[in-house]
Amino acid sequence: MAIEQIKMPQLGESVTEGTISNWLVKVGDRVNKYDPLAEVMTDKVNAEVPSSYSGVIKELIAAEGDTIAVGEIICSIETEGGEVVTAEAPAVESKPEALEGTADSVSAAVRPNKARYSPAVLKLSQEHGIDLTRVSGTGAGGRITRKDVLQWISAAGEKAAAPAAGQAVSQEKGQSAVLNQPAAVPAANVPLAAGDIEIPVTGIRKAIAANMVRSKHEVPHAWMMVEVDATNLVEYRNSIKDEFKEKEGFNLTFFAFFVKAVAQGLKEFPQMNSMWAGDKIIRKKDINISIAVATDDALFVPVIKNADEKTIKGIAREISELAVKVRNGKLKAEDMQGGTFTVNNTGSFGSVQSMGIINYPQAAILQVESIVKRPVVMNDSMIAVRDMVNLCMSLDHRVLDGLVCGRFLARVKEIIENMSKSTISIY
């Protein structure tokens, strides 16, 4: 007999951890290779973790609701034949440099005079100024888990919320007072008034929040906007949308035209299709457009692969299929991977101007706002009602400068303004 371990897989680009939302098996169950074991939530995808072996479930190491770093063990399976496989994975020393340039997680173990922690634990402790030697571990072998650190933060926050005499340290006249409190006080300590409702933060919402904070903290965002006259595009699309829906079985949305225009612009300005990688900039060969798809409580970013090689019809089909997957909870890890540039359809809920947060590690995100009718001066001599749309772009100023971004947006504007029955084909 052999004991094999199932580890938390990496379910998306830049994903470092996942939350066990639901175990689909229990101890003693017999499973076959590729059978689903658990449902996992990350900031990018809801997915099932398949079994890598056939055998009997020996132990469920992670509990439902636990957030586990990529590479850490979540359960063990007893298989026939072979030797027992040890559960320990490579570890790193507890120093900040161990976090740089890696999304892989390692198991943590406590050894005399040399503590080892997972990158997720190290990062969280550094963000909140926590001395990990003061935290008690509940993981295997006494290791400190991310959940242990979160509980320590919560406990420290509760102590800070209670008034205490002598908390303020008096200073010499003219100097400020210093409060003796932890580096971070969790939001759970916000006072509640009559009628207030507490809504628990789900694992996926925590993951989304962490990714957004990382992007805003690490990426120097800059912003620019262009105004586009989409009148010809609107007339063309409206003239064929009903026939298209009847023939193809899905909608021909305005968004498909904008994604096509962006893909063409990226092909002509490949600098925009780049990523920051610390000591270098990586210019991506493939043009893979990430699109934001929202549900009531989460945001997913599936990817249209090789968008520059697809027709408008092909892009419209993928947008429709990916949206259905999101709504039905069928989005797979591979649907979320490989994105190089994000286009967000903020106009779908009436926005006319917005500033998106860059989808790390990409270098830019483009917001396509609502198409609205506005009076526009034409040929310096007349005023006409036109269908206008704002394109708003956030950019990583480490990777991109205003000159290339301005030229890229001007080209996308030109492409859209010249879209009509006589200039483009949707097939």
Using CA atoms, how far apart are residues 179 and 153, in angstroms rounded to an integer? Answer: 17
> What 3-state class would DSSP assign to 7?
strand
Residue 85 phi/psi, 5-degree rounding, is -95, 130
Using CA atoms, how far apart are residues 33 and 25, in angstroms rounded to an integer? Answer: 13
Please count the CA atoms within 13 angstroms of the CA of 283 that sit on its side-chain side.
Answer: 7
From the number of C-beta atoms within 10 Å of its C-beta (0-12, 13-18, 19+), residue 205 rates as middle
> Is 43 labeled as catalytic in the residue annotation?
no
Taking each helix axis as running N to C, give the angle between helix 254-268 and helix 231-248, from 0 to 180 degrees, rounded to the nearest 10: 110
> Is 397 labeled as catalytic in the residue annotation?
yes
55-60 and 46-50 strand pairing: unpaired
End-to-end CA distance of the chain: 57
Amino acid at site 37: L
Amino acid at site 350: G
Check: CB of residue 270 under 8 Å from CB of residue 399. no
Using CA atoms, how far apart are residues 56 and 217, in angstroms rounded to an integer? Answer: 44
Q: Which residues contact 278 (CB under 8 A, 6 or more apart)?
A: 100, 101
Amino acid at site 339: G
Closest by Cα among 356, 288, 298, 365 to 327: 298
Check: CB of residue 123 under 8 Å from CB of residue 67. no
Closest by Cα among 108, 122, 29 to 72: 108
Closest by Cα among 362, 315, 312 to 338: 362
Closest by Cα among 173, 67, 74 to 120: 67
Closest by Cα among 294, 266, 237 to 405: 266
Check: CB of residue 388 under 8 Å from CB of residue 234. no
Check: CB of residue 423 under 8 Å from CB of residue 246. no
Which residue out of 29, 35, 104, 397 is catalytically annotated? Answer: 397
Active centre residues (catalytic): 397, 401
